[in-house]
Amino acid sequence: MLNIADLHVYYGGIHALEGISLEVPANKIITLIGANGAGKSTTLRAICGLVKAAAGSITFQGEDITRAPTTQIVQKGITMVPEGRRVFPDLTVLENLYLGAYTRKNSGVKRDLDWVFSLFPRLKERKGQLAGTLSGGEQQMLAVGRALMANPTLLMMDEPSLGLAPLLVQEIFNIIKEIHSEGKTILLIEQNARAALQLADYGYVLETGRIVLSGTGKELLVRDEVRKVYLGEE
SS3 67: coil
Residue nearest to Mg ion (CB): 41
Cβ atoms 57, 4 nearer than 8 A: yes
What does the per-residue mask of binding to Mg ion show for 80-99, with x meaning CB under 5 A?
---x----------------
What whole-number distance in Å separates Cα of residue 176 and Cα of residue 73?
22
Give which of ligand ATP, Mg ion, none residue 14 binds (C-beta under 5 to 8 Å, depending on kind): ligand ATP
Binding region for ligand ATP (CB under 6 A): 11, 14, 16, 34, 36-42, 83
Report which DSSP code applies to 92.
B
Cβ distance 102 to 88 under 8 Å?
no
Q: Does 192 bind Mg ion (CB under 5 A)?
A: no
> Measured from the CB atom, is 19 or 82 closer to Mg ion?
82
The window from 1-9, 37-45, 49-57, 162-170 that contacts Mg ion (CB under 5 A) reads 37-45
Question: Which residues, at least 6 apart from 220, have a Cβ–Cβ distance to it below 8 Å?
Answer: 197, 203, 205, 213, 214, 226
Q: Does 43 bind Mg ion (CB under 5 A)?
A: no
CB of 47: closest distance to Mg ion in angstroms?
Answer: 13
- Which does residue 11 touch among Mg ion, ligand ATP, none (CB within 5 to 8 A, set by kind)? ligand ATP
Distance between CA 227 and CA 233 in Å, rounded?
5
Q: Which does 215 bind (CB under 5 to 8 A by kind): Mg ion, ligand ATP, none?
A: none
| Cβ distance to Mg ion smaller for residue 36 or 181 | 36
Q: In the complex with ligand ATP, which residue's Cβ is closer, 83 or 219?
A: 83
Assess 41 for contact with Mg ion (CB under 5 A). yes
Burial class (CB in 10 A: 0-12, 13-18, 19+), 69: exposed
Half-sphere exposure for 73 (CA within 13 Å, toward CB): 25
Spatial CA neighbour of 94 closest among 72, 69, 116: 116
Q: At closest approach, how far in Å is the CB of 46 from ligand ATP? A: 9
> Among ligand ATP, Mg ion, none, what does residue 42 contact (CB within 5–8 Å per kind)?
ligand ATP
Instruction: Output the CA–CA distances (angstroms, integers) from residue 2 to 56, 63, 165, in the order listed.
Output: 14, 9, 32
Instruction: Closer to ligand ATP by CB, 138 or 190: give it.
Output: 190
Compare residues 112 and 158 and give the one whose CB is closer to Mg ion.
Answer: 158
